[in-house]
Chain A
Amino acid sequence: MKRFILSALFFIALLAIWHLLVLAKVWSVVLLPDPISVLEYLKGAVGDGTLLQASLVTMRRLLAGYVIGIAAGLPLGLLTARFKFCEDTLGVLALGLQTLPSVCWVPLALLWFGQTETAMLFVVIMGTLWSVIIATDNGVRNVPPIFARAARTMGSRGLHTWFNVILPASLPFIVSGMKQGWAFAWRSLMAAEIYVTILTGFGLGYLLHYGRELNAMDQVIGVMLVIVVIGLLADKIVFAPCERFLHRRWGTARA
């Protein structure tokens, strides 16, 4: 409770400083709107449903790409860890493409797929896939060999060993890879939505872009806040419990 209060005080102080800066007229109100006007915008956008609509569009794109990226990345990562041939081919490709910022896929996606949902999906998958492959590969390689040996003496073989020993043993790496994949996917989708207008759905990135076009700084900052909050929520609701579980089991939690 004390931590929560401190945390709340910190953010209230931030808002107060912001408000004071606006009152002091350090910058023009066009460039730095009052927190209250941002709040007004958010209230209006929530009220008329644009914000919810945009968030849903964005989340739908994100989840679809993310799930496909993980579903493909996990088995591919297992393959690169298991087979030398896959390591030398797919493994090198994944390592190379992971270093490519996923925004760089946007031009290619546009040329290949046009201004469609497929282009968005493609960008998100490219953002997720490679880091999941590398994290899985890395996780499998870090499994202590003694686990597999112990399992063999108990009669575990082949696929049973992979699903019941190797995969769970590499969970800490896989979860951190999924977290990284999520961050990459989120970033690349925002970039894609800002650059590309797709008529089948206006996401948060589009709202941001639109705010700039209209010089509506309250909208720009309001949407940025929403994006930050969604990111925080994903972390607290999805990843934090997974990590807590792993820390408890592996004994890596801080006291």
Chain B
Amino acid sequence: MSIREELENVVPAKLAVDRVSKRFFTGRSGEVHALDAVSLQVNVGGFLCLVGPSGCGKSTLLNIIAGLEKPDSGQVLADGKPITEPGRDRMVMFQEPALFPWLDVMGNVLFGLKLKPGLNAEERREVAEFYLKLVGLERFRHATIHQLSGGMKQRVALARALAPNPRVLLMDEPFASLDALTREQLYRDIQNIWATRKKTIVFVTHNVREAACLGNRVILFSPHPGRIREEFKIDLERPRDINSAQLASYSTEIMRALKGYVTPEVAE
């Protein structure tokens, strides 16, 4: 049955960022060198976190991987194929939920599914139900968006991003505006989903602790121009608790490194 295939077909992708550079021209203040020949790899099913101070190009890199922006030079390969535009194989979660208020919860999750060929209306509904259940919102399928709390909105956004069954999930500070308790629950959920749905995840954040909690690897960026500074491997059991002491030692290490790159800038 095709719906089983659809739900069980979980194939993460491999990403390769190859010497990507990007500059922005911002009116009077001139030029921002957002990314300078950045190269990195994400393994099949990897969970990579990008951290760094604002302006270090981490969100720009995410947008380039998403295909929402084009690099000035260099390229990004997903499973060996160069990325030229957004695609259903790479879904994005933004800092804002970016849900459509004219649709209810179900309608939002169905939006991407309707654009995916090969499923009929009933199958789409079943797939949407599956992901709503996965994020724990099946009881809210007919709720309007503004009735939901911030955390629930991000859960809907997560279900919407997962629904077309992408190989890559790109997350741009999706939990930044949520309260601490909601965030902790979502850390558990996202680790769980990563393990069961087998996605390759690139997660951008400025919260070092969050990065250490979620990522298998954490890459530290420095700004002006945006470059990779250091890479950290996080060898901790999952599911990880953001409050654990071992995790704290990792995040202290990353934080120390981060300060090292930021302080000279400030002193200038």
For A155, the chain B residues whose CB sits under 8 A away are: 86-88, 112, 115-116, 164
Q: Are A154 and B111 in contact (CB under 8 A)?
A: yes
Using CB atoms, name the residue of chain A closest to B88. A155
Q: Is the CB of B115 within 8 A of A154?
A: yes
Overall SS of chain A's interface: helix
CA distance A129 to B220 in the complex (A): 55
Q: Which of B136-161 contact A (CB under 8 A)?
A: 144-147, 160
Stretch at the interface among A34-42, A101-109, A145-153: A145-153
Which of A13-21, A164-172, A184-192 is the interface stretch? Answer: A164-172
Contact with B along A128-161 (1 / 0, CB 8 A): 0000000000000000101101111111100010
B66 surroundings in chain A (CB, below 8 A): 153
How many Cβ-Cβ contacts under 8 Å join chain A to chain B? 61
Collect the chain A residues with CB atoms within 8 Å of residue B102's CB: 168-169, 171, 249
| A155→B91 CA distance, assembly (Å) | 10
CB neighbours of A165 from chain B (8 A): 100
List the A side residues contacting B90 at CB < 8 Å. 153
A153–B146 CB distance below 8 A: no
Chain B residues contacting A43 (CB-CB under 8 Å) are none
Size range of the interface on A?
A: 20 to 34
Contact assessment for A150 and B94 in the assembled complex, using a CB-CB cutoff below 8 Å: yes
If A153-B92, A154-B91 touch, whether A147 touches B144 (CB-CB below 8 Å) is no
B67 neighbours in A (Cβ, 8 Å)? 153
In the complex, residue of chain B having the shortest beta-carbon distance to the beta carbon of A251:
B146
How far does the alpha carbon of A171 sit from the alpha carbon of B102 in the complex, in Å? 9
Is A83 engaged at the interface, CB distance under 8 Å to the other chain? no
Note all chain B residues with C-beta closer than 8 A to A169.
100-102
Which residues of A lie under 8 Å from residue B101 when comparing CB positions? 169, 249-251
Complex partner residue of B88 from A150, A151, A154, A249, CB under 8 angstroms = A154
A250 touches B98 (CB 8 A): no
Q: Tell me the bound Cα distance from A150 to B87 in angstroms.
A: 11
A25-46 vs B, CB cutoff 8 Å, 1 = contact: the mask equals 0000000000000000000000
A168 CB, min distance to chain B CBs, angstroms: 4
Q: How far is the CB of B255 from chain A (nearest CB, A)?
A: 30
B68 interface contact, C-beta 8 A? yes
- State whether B94 touches A146 (Cβ < 8 A): yes
CA distance A149 to B68 in the complex (A): 7
Alpha-carbon distance A152/B145, docked complex (angstroms): 20
CA of A144 to CA of B68, assembled, Å: 16
CA distance A35 to B88 in the complex (A): 69
Please list the residues of chain A having a beta carbon within 8 angstroms of any beta carbon in chain B. Answer: 144, 146-147, 149-156, 160, 164-165, 168-169, 171, 248-251
